[in-house]
Chains A and B, each alone.
Chain A
Amino acid sequence: MEIKSPKQGSAISGLPLSRVKIIMKSSPDVDHISPDALQAMSKATEMFVSYLSMKAHDHANKRSIEYKNLADVVNNDDVFGFLQEVIPHKITVREYWKLRNSQQRSEDESSDDQGSGDG
Chain B
Amino acid sequence: MEGNTFPNDFLISDERDVEDNSEQRLTTEQSKSPFREQDIYLPIANIARIMKNAVPANGKIAKDAKECVQECVSEFISFITSEASERCAQEKRKTINGEDVLFAMATLGFDPYIEPLKIYLQKYRDTLKAEKGGEVYQDTPQHLSDADLVDHFSQNNFAEMLVTTEQVDPAFSGQTSLEGSIQFQ
Residues of A within 8 A of B (CB): 1-4, 6, 8-41, 43-54, 56-57, 60, 63-67, 69-70, 74, 78-79, 82-83, 86-87
Contact = CB atoms under 8 A, between A and B. Distances in A.
Contacts of A87: 68, 71-72
A44 B110 contact: yes
A36 B121 contact: yes
Contact of B46 (A14, A28, A38): A14
Nearest to A36: B98
A44 to B, nearest CB: 6
B117 interface: yes
Interface of B: 3-4, 6, 10, 37-38, 40, 42-43, 46-47, 49-51, 53-56, 59-62, 64-65, 68-69, 71-82, 84-85, 89, 94-98, 100-102, 105, 108-110, 113, 116-117, 120-121, 124-125, 137-140, 144, 157-158, 160-164, 166-175, 178, 180-183
B106 to A, nearest CB: 12
Nearest to B174: A9
Nearest to B140: A2
A79 B156 CA distance: 15
A107 B166 CA distance: 58
A49 B47 contact: yes
A50 B75 CA distance: 16
Contact of A86 (B71, B100, B171, B180): B71
A6 B78 contact: no
Contacts of A83: 72, 75-76
